[in-house]
């Protein structure tokens, strides 16, 4: 590993055999802190798969969010800049095991709103919401905004399912943040997925204000649509049904 690091500038587009050798060396260290200290070298050649294996093995179990692994914002940015499947999987692994990585990841998202458009990050956000200490961290607004932006971009209810799941879970651990975000949904951005979200979270006691906001905007949206010359489509009828169901709870 030391040899590779000392001559890092010579590692340019390594062959498959060389990549495998490097991967074996990374995992053989069994030392996440040491390996992460040299992350910059391997993000350049997008060799991140061994980091996932190393972290999961070395920390013993997933989901503890207690590993003493320090990950700063610059490291998170380098991983995200690879825009690779392995990079997104590494982000998921890091936020799952390390409080430091979790905080750095949320800070990076808050500083760069463009990242909220990356659907690949939704899995990492859902992991954060599910962590035992999620409710005590001031990160609900960032997570809620990312989920809402995803729903705005969705073209179908199926596509918005991950983001809706995040908001449903978030409503139980960070209700104030969730409700305030949902109360700000403009009618111009309203779609069938928001109507379904109202139904999804209607049974969550702490989400009552958010549900009411979604229902009000939804009814205004549908009323304006029904009074226009636009023909109502099946998706619009489905919105009526979802909003109606939301009011039964």
Phi, psi of 160 (to 5 degrees): -85, 0
Contacts of residue 25, defined as CB under 8 A and 6 or more positions apart, other chains included, come to: 1, 4
Q: Measured between alpha carbons, how far is 223 from 125 in angstroms, rounded to an integer? A: 34
Question: Worst-scoring range by mean pLDDT, 19-28, 141-150, 204-213?
Answer: 19-28
Predicted pLDDT of residue 69: 82
Phi, psi of 30 (to 5 degrees): 50, 35
Higher pLDDT residue, 196 or 42? Answer: 196
Predicted pLDDT of residue 60: 62
Calculate the average pLDDT of the chain: 87
Angle between helical axes of 192-201 and 140-153 (0-180°, round to 10): 140
Question: Worst-scoring range by mean pLDDT, 17-31, 61-75, 113-127?
Answer: 61-75
Predicted confidence (pLDDT) per residue in 61-112, tens digit: 555 676 778 899 999 999 999 999 999 999 999 999 888 999 999 999 999 9
Q: Which two tokens stand for residue 77?
A: 């940015």
The percent of residues in the chain predicted with pLDDT above 70, rounded, is 88
- The alpha carbon dihedral of 202, 207, 208, 213 has a sign of negative
Residue 185 reports pLDDT greater than 90: yes
Q: Measured between alpha carbons, how far is 134 from 129 in angstroms, rounded to an integer? A: 6
Question: Worst-scoring range by mean pLDDT, 6-10, 84-88, 106-110, 134-138?
Answer: 6-10
pTM above threshold 0.75:
yes
- Residue recorded with tokens 């409080």: 99
Residue 155 reports pLDDT greater than 80: yes
Predicted pLDDT of residue 68: 78
């Amino acid at each position: 590993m030391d040899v590779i690091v000392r001559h890092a500038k010579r590692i340019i587009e390594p062959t498959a055999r060389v990549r495998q050798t490097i991967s074996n060396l990374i995992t053989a260290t069994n030392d996440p802190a040491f390996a992460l200290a040299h992350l910059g070298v391997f993000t350049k050649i997008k060799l991140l798969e061994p980091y996932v294996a190393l972290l999961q093995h070395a920390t013993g179990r997933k989901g503890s969010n207690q590993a003493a692994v320090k990950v700063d914002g610059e490291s998170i940015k380098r991983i995200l800049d690879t825009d690779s499947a392995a990079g997104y999987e590494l982000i998921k692994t890091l936020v799952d095991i390390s409080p430091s990585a979790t905080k750095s990841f949320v800070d990076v998202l808050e500083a760069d709103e463009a990242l909220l458009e990356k659907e690949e990050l939704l899995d990492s956000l859902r992991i954060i919401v599910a962590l035992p200490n999620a409710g005590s961290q001031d990160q609900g607004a960032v997570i809620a905004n990312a989920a809402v932006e995803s729903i705005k971009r969705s073209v179908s209810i199926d596509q918005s399912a991950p983001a809706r799941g995040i908001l449903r879970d978030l409503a139980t651990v960070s209700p104030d943040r969730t409700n305030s975000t949902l109360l700000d949904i403009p009618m111009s951005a309203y779609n069938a997925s928001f109507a379904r979200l109202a139904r999804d979270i209607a049974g969550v006691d702490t989400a009552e204000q958010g549900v009411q906001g979604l229902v009000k905007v939804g009814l205004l949206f549908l009323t304006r649509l029904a009074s226009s010359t636009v023909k109502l489509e099946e998706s619009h009828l489905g919105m009526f049904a979802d909003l109606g169901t939301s009011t039964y709870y």
